[in-house]
Structure 1
Amino acid sequence: MAGRVLAGKLGIVTGASRGIGSAIAENLASKGCNVVINYTSKSSTSLAKDLSKKLQAKYGVQAFGVQADLGTPTGPSALIAATKDHFLSSPPSPDAKFQIDILINNAGVARNDKLPDIKIEDFDATYHVNVLGPLLLIQAAIPYLPTDRSGRIVNLSSISSDCGFLGQSIYGGSKAAIEAMTRVWARELSERATVNAINPGPVEGPMYAANSDEFKAGIKGWIEHAPLMRARAGIDAEDVVVEAKTSGGRPAYAREVAGIAGMLCTPDAAWCTGQVVCANGGLLMH
């Protein structure tokens, strides 16, 4: 089938039951990649199952969900172990080889508060999920990465690492940390995989919608000057166009961010590593 440049490969997407993670899982599947859909809580089990069925039926790939909390010390290794068990058990073969071709570190949390109100538990929870989780997941996956540089690792950062938005001491700091680790991993894993990050800005969905009115007012000027965030009547949905009149522009559609992550996973991206790639419609320009 045309466009199946990832046919036969195996990708793991963390936090993939909804939002950007779900869209990335579908993007990879559309390219022929078998996909592991990681999720944290039991409440997301049905979402992961439904997504798995959809991807299998629509794209003819293997897809299955694995519940694992990447904010715990054992969650990342449990995710890799469950993935290995699944793909080596069907069909069983004495010479079966298990390889992880693609890793998308998408799972993340955002706990915003201004400086006087920051709580230690919010710092700990954010850094365990956003920073330690990806680190432990890469550690657990290293034995199974390709040895010919064909592997792809994409970390989800955010424009918050650069822009100094109000209330994002913890979240922005965690995303700056993942960008720093991206560059280190690009060197350390250079014979195994490329390692890049993408930095979305506002993206449709509950995480962005949950931000305070003060936060949204503070980011409005940035949105107004982002060239691709202007809502367009007749192209964007009517409610998106109406909302943009207040917010300054539209957020990204999850599929748009997923497209950039998927692009970095293709063979064509083999000469790109250690980079933070724009996935924000020009809101942040370097």
Structure 2
Amino acid sequence: MKETPQLGSGCTISRGSPMTSCTLASIDAVTAEDFQAVYVSNVLGPILLTQACRPHLPDDRSGRIVSLSSVGSKIGMAGLKLYGGTKGALEAMARTWARELAEHCTVNAVSVGSTMTDMLAQAPHEAKVAISQFYPITPLAPGREFDSEQQRAFVEQYGGRAAYPEEIAGVVGMICNGGLWMSS
């Protein structure tokens, strides 16, 4: 868990360690080790992080918990069953925590598409091809002349651009606004 300095009004942002690799496997090739690695990172990690933060949540509903999910939990990408399954579990936990922690905080899971992260950069070609099937129906997928060189190369090879982490951070920041009341 990484923690930033106080952000004013007693607000602290904590985040778990993100996954840094993506296992692409047929159902017959999934091992117990594969399962454990992905589920420990994407399911147990958020549980433990939420447990650690729980005693520090305010009693006035002003707290915020935001988890990063994935469209992979909804669309079923071939070979990415473990990853998509963990994100579905994370969304279910967010809905439950929204009820359990309602007097302390809002709880949301932001379901994002492919994002230009180390995990995507290191993902196998087959995983990127699986993801790319959704670019034609993604309004902001076309590349732009001012995209990074890495992004332009990605667009050239896979037919659409991934989100930038800053774009996802903007959505998370909006959800963390103290005036909002929504839980997903």
Is 1:225 the counterpart of 2:130 in the alignment? no
Please name the residue that 1:241 is paired with. Answer: 152
Gaps of 5+ in 2: 1-6
Give the TM-score normalised by structure 2: 0.87
Q: Match for 1:187: what amino acid?
A: R
How far apart, CA to CA, are the structure 2 residues paired with 1:225 and 1:256?
Answer: 19
- Which residue identity does 2:115 align to in structure 1? V
Alignment match of 2:43 (pick from 116, 125, 131)? 131
Partner of 1:159: 71
Of 242, 251, 261, which aligns to 2:172? 261
Distance 1:138 1:113, change over 3 A: same
Q: Which one has more relative contact order, counting CA pairs under 8 Å at least 6 apart? A: 2
Partner of 1:108: 19
Specify the code of the residue in structure 1 equivalent to 2:19.
G
Q: Secondary structure at the match of 1:196?
A: strand
Partner of 1:10: 11
Aligned partner of 1:204 among 103, 113, 116: 116
- Aligned counterparts of 1:212 and 1:237: Cα–Cα separation in 2: 21
Task: Give the aligned residue type for 2:84.
Answer: G
Rounded Cα–Cα distance in structure 2 between residues aligned with 1:142 and 1:239: 39
Deviation for aligned residue 1:242 = 4.5
Supply the AA of the counterpart residue of 1:225.
I
Segment of structure 1 superposing worse, 6-15 or 221-230: 6-15
C-alpha distance in 2 between matches for 1:238 and 1:136: 37
Amino acid at match of 2:8: A
SS of the counterpart of 1:162? Answer: helix
- Runs of 4+ deviating beyond 6 Å: none
- Following the alignment from structure 1 to structure 2, what is the Cα–Cα distance between the partners of residues 239 and 126? 26
Deviation at 1:238, TM superposition (A): 4.9
Aligned AA (1:121)? E
Tell me the amino acid that sits aligned with residue 11 of structure 1.
Answer: T
| Alignment pair present for 1:187 and 2:99 | yes
Counterpart-to-counterpart distance in 1, 2:150 and 2:29: 35
Q: Indicate the percent of aligned positions where both proteins have the same amino acid.
A: 42
CA distances 1:160-188 after superposition (whole Å, capped 9, x unpaired): 10111111111111110000000000001
What letter is aligned with 2:10? K
Letter in 2 for 1:213: H
Q: What displacement does 1:120 show?
A: 0.2
More displaced, 251-260 or 238-247? Answer: 238-247
Partner of 2:4: none
**RMSD over equivalenced CA pairs, Å:** 1.8
Question: Are positions 1:251 and 2:158 aligned together?
Answer: no
| Amino acid corresponding to residue 9 of structure 1 in structure 2 | G
Count how many residue pairs are aligned between Structure 1 and Structure 2. Answer: 177
> Residue 13 of structure 1: CA displacement?
2.6
Cα-to-partner distance string for 1:217-248 (whole Å, 9 max, x where unaligned): 23223112211121122x32355334313211
Distance verdict in 2 for CA 1:219–1:184, change over 3 Å: same
Match of 1:281 in 2: none
Task: Give the drift of 1:200.
Answer: 1.6
TM (norm. structure 1) is 0.58
Instruction: State the distance in 2 between where 1:243 and 1:144 align.
Output: 41
> C-alpha distance in 2, partners of 1:112/1:175?
15
